[in-house]
A and B are shown apart, each in its own frame.
Chain A
Amino acid sequence: MGSSKSSLRHIPNAQELIQDTGFSAAHIQRLYERFDLLDRDQMGRLRVPDFEAISHLAMNPIGDRIIAAFFSPGKDTVDFPSFVRILAHFQPTDDNRTRDSSGKEPYNSPNRKLQFAFQLYDQDGDGKISRAELLQVLQEMLGMQVTDELLQSIAERAIQEADLDQDDAISFDEFKKCLEKVDIDQKMRIGFLS
């Protein structure tokens, strides 16, 4: 992209972000431009309306959840580092970077990816997907076309299938187990971030 290190100077903490997330300088630059574009009132932070302005996202059944995932609990704005960190989840898995400098698991490991997805289901943050939460997701995805009873049957079946410890909810481990046959790396990756 022709962006040298110097152009990253106006991006706060660029170097730190590069190291933390594994993005290249070019990626950071590109994401910053995108961030800037979305940030309509140029405050350096994104708010919910900024996200909702993306037309396609409005058509997405789970658009609201995705937007909510960017915001840390309790805060109503997203700054650039958080933006980048969330998007770092969608990089392809890099087998070499098993542990980064701070000893945490890198953002784009399959485990972290799954955790991110899990959080989208688990709105109340109790670490489990309860029946109600699952029902909500199904309702959003299947929309108006389906009766409630059918939704409940589907949710019922899903929980029965996955719930190994009989607590009527799907924990993170059970969630992981469901998806063990699915190639998470391939499913949760954005092309241009590779």
Chain B
Amino acid sequence: AEAAELRARLRAVRHTVLVLSGKGGVGKSTFSALLAHGLAADETKQVALLDIDICGPSIPKMMGLEGEQVHQSGSGWSPVYVEENLGVMSVGFLLSSPDDAVIWRGPKKNGLIKQFLRDVDWGEVDYLIVDTPPGTSDEHLSIVQYLSATHIDGAVIVTTPQEVSLQDVRKEINFCHKVKLPIIGVVENMSGFVCPKCKNESQIFPPTTGGAEKMCQNLNVSFLGKVPLDPQIGKSCDRGQSFLAEAPESPATLSYRNIIQRIQEYCEQRHLQEEKMM
């Protein structure tokens, strides 16, 4: 009966993309936020961003929605709208103060994630993007389990170039294989820094073992692209602004847009394949 409830609620979601890592601090939330903004630039598309990082919800701040509250209506919880076609849900909106720690064990976290999927009135959604915390634990198992009520187009896995990150990301890739979650591809963030003054490129996080590109080759997983470090990215996140809008000329913006387009193409193609099969 629970599965039926979830299925009903998620029936109107066309595409679902999970943003994963394994490693913390590599830019999952940043990427999720920009993916949402990028997709919502097309006003004909309805985009939903669900933040299931219960201990460290970054999405409210990054989307400029700190302090917003969730409202209930007859049809369920209402997401917080950034734009008419971009709705957001996060535990951040349920806290009475942004510094409140959510110190919950697995089962309670799972309960909230289920509620987010079951009780939020997303309406008709073209893209549901799910931002996750680092790791391969309760939140990840639960979201894959609950979303089996609908389909997940796939996972985008985010990393940085160094081996310490890749080592956790390989585990995440294995997690995806284990739970039969398709991998759309891997994004390498913080991939080089070009000085705006002297134009020299530095590797702040050197890819001592070949970076994400080599890892993808070895593991036969699609490599979606590299995004260079740009201090404006962190600033935009802190200020709750879309980096793509604030710095349209940055090489990082170009990279993000290319990657977003590839994700869109993947989702659309899958849809066409499914329609063909039916």
A, B in one complex: no
List the interface of chain B (C-beta within 8 A of A).
Answer: none
